[in-house]
A and B are shown apart, each in its own frame.
Chain A
């Protein structure tokens, strides 16, 4: 399966909205990532033109921040916490379990572009450790049954959104 095609018109309209705005680069890249799930490489030159920057410079900013991705991600992006509290509470086993369930390693995306598995240094939700995020939702006090049900829920939700 291929990732969804980039809607060029949509992309250009996002870029146009930020043209000539001072300090607009990072908000613009965020807006693009919000729309497409990642910053498609085809966007780099148009972004550079709108921001009056060099394309190489724009690329430098994108690759500097871990928050920006130049590769398409799955519909659901899982961020499993590797923080100390989560570690103590068995976060490592949770991660292993998710890896097994999805058949993905860290940083990988499933071939049907449904799931991307990532880890984070700390999600800042230590009081509900072990924790993970799926897109923008937090899931805490994870246990194997809870993980299974969360994943099941997202598998079911397919197509909504």
Chain B
């Protein structure tokens, strides 16, 4: 790119061609005041604060919208500029109400800051504030548009970053204000309460509704503790409490200025009274507070006793997809070395670990470090996007913004979903398939692409094997049968295939696949499709799996799983096992341990005597609560180490209060594979300790003193032993493919790295259920994460009263005489729930949508607990139900 040199305030500066004067100045540390400018929004030049004087022409120009030109010479603080700038601020102040004294924006208000800097105490103008009603009916965003200066940042953030379009300018001139459609209150508009607008507002026009009033004492950077996107946050802290959450506005970070309703307002759970603050042990049937020493001693004694009496495999460890990498690493080390068992899993089992595992094992046979699709920003340069069984706008909203921006930029998007999700509404092709028929759809698309003869031939030759056999089965594939099973016409599938042909695909594969029956088979089918189109190893192509938990990927990487060691190294590989044994100075058992479902089954059979749970709430998050409860009650000794009192902790024999993400040191790995390092910005409440410290104390008491160590030493160990956690390593792409593409011709050792196609597996054709006429689809809403333990405790999320209503189609509502607000009983073969009904246009006949996480996650009652990815599993995502009006 060409470099331009110019003069600003007599100083020679250079910038790249196309930069604005403002950017050129900022790049050299020259400050120019701005109100309507934000680095991630398109400049509009609305506020005129950034005026500068062109020395040659004497013109006064807005620097944010004026491109820097060669040999230009500008002054940013000339008397003329200052005179104009003062007048602009004077006019704004004259229209502004005199409520600064009680405004929570306080010293963070840009208008107030510039007025102070320019020395404007009295405007000398007749004040004409444009008084408006303050809108504060919702528990999240307070709008006092009297203070609005019409910079349009909220509108542009809404349109350009979040792509929701809830607000826009309304009216003209003095009456002009940002407004929702028909000027309705926010809760009656399309607003998702992501709060992006209130964090970007330069004045107090938009502010959070909060019990905290004023400016936090300090602001500290951290990462969001909810989903796997891992947004950068700026936490406002007062009196050792997180009182305000804002996006960190860091350029090129995953979220920059955006956030979602959970991230912005859901962190209230950090300060609720249900936080665990003291260790407790069960005495005479109820939990009572004890000292740390007593609790640790009990835990260590009982675990050791049980191990000695019933053998190591009578104990299981449940790690956490919400705890840090170092903690998970230490936890599995405690299980494997301290207690000689591989009975270790984490909550990621519920949210898609098996799919990650499948794709990893199949594409990465030689233990090379990779990630499947690279960064989320790659979605914005994808050739085509295929979203299947995922509703990212709700499950991982900030990743959803990337998708919506891609659509806006014209990227073709295909959505396969039984429901018309937000993305389906925006998609080029929406494949409205029958629930659970994804396997046939993917096979059919592959067959269509194969028959069009436009697959990635050179990619297939170079990086894969088994294509001949696979293609044979594709050529004989019965498309009519697929059309019958999926309910999608061949023409419609052709339309989708035409969009995919000759392009590298970015996949977003969600719960509808991961947690459904035929999960593994569908995963294989997706991989076949990806290999055939050469969609792996390039930026903007490959697999994205919406990670529901902030450290779902990290917990898996750390070996908090029954069949893998840290670094995703297979347990049954003796080479990797011995290398870890050498490092840890102890033997690792050979047999693959119990996964989360296996633990419940083992408990039912009274084979499991002790369970150590760290940061998980299986009683709420697993389906079939009664069965899980019965199983857990059979366990002799349960340790729950958590931050909140929850369903599972009530059953515990010992409760150890842990620390939340912002109360401890550690690293998290987001769904892109980016490592995020956090430090303690507040102290854990009461006597609570970081989970790392607690595991160390338990290990030490059990006689494994080597496990009592510092977070730094573990981090060092990780970076030395796990290639993808090497310092400075970016582990975004399947490195070998990328390297091989870069270094033509093919290397010799590529041969053994080849990824093999798997055979086409077809689903059975089924007859319609005569008794259970509806299919219930269970899915998330953006206000709650996972099973909603944390978000369910957040006062503001609770206060909003998000609807938990079961959604049914218009036709069904007519046929069954059910209307909005009626109460119904939803009965499956496994259980029943009662809720209100809401009639929706986005759902088809014969389907009902049940939002998860509400009412103690009662949606799980409908589902039978089966092992995911097992060929006999019915899946956890949908089930046949009947509807009874009550």
Contact = CB atoms under 8 A, between A and B. Distances in A.
A64 B165 contact: no
Interface in A63-91: 63-64, 66
A64 B159 contact: no
Contacts of A53: 165
B171 A63 contact: yes
A138 interface: no
Nearest to B182: A41
Interface residues of A, number: 13
B167 A56 contact: yes
Given A41-B182, A44-B181, A59-B182, A54 B159 contact: yes
A73 B190 CA distance: 30
Interface in B495-525: none
Contacts of A66: 172
A59 B168 CA distance: 8
B168 A60 contact: yes
A146 interface: no
Contacts of A63: 170-172
B169 A55 contact: no
A63 B168 CA distance: 11
A54 B182 contact: no
Given A41-B182, A44-B181, A57 B168 contact: yes
B171 A54 contact: no
A88 B180 CA distance: 43
A44 B180 CA distance: 12
B153 to A, nearest CB: 16
A56 B172 contact: no
Contacts of A59: 168, 170, 179, 181-182
Contact of B169 (A41, A44, A45, A64): A64
A23 B514 CA distance: 43
Interface string B377-394: 000000000000000000
Nearest to B426: A52
B166 interface: yes
Nearest to B165: A54
Contact of B170 (A41, A45, A54, A60): A60
A136 B179 CA distance: 33
A9 to B, nearest CB: 19
A63 B175 CA distance: 10
Interface in B432-472: none
A56 B171 contact: no
Contacts of A54: 159, 164-166, 168
Interface string B151-189: 000000001000011111111100000011110000001
A44 B184 CA distance: 14
Interface of B: 159, 164-172, 179-182, 189-190
Interface of A: 41, 44-45, 53-57, 59-60, 63-64, 66
20 contacts: A44-B182, A54-B159, A54-B165, A54-B166, A55-B165, A55-B181, A56-B165, A56-B167, A57-B159, A57-B165, A57-B168, A59-B168, A59-B170, A59-B179, A59-B181, A59-B182, A60-B179, A63-B172, A64-B172, A66-B172
Give me the 4 closest cross-chain CB pairs, A-B, nearest first: A54-B165, A56-B168, A60-B168, A55-B181
Given A54-B159, A63-B170, 19 more contacts: A41-B182, A44-B181, A54-B165, A54-B166, A55-B165, A55-B181, A56-B165, A56-B166, A56-B167, A56-B180, A59-B168, A59-B170, A60-B169, A60-B170, A60-B179, A63-B172, A64-B169, A64-B171, A66-B172
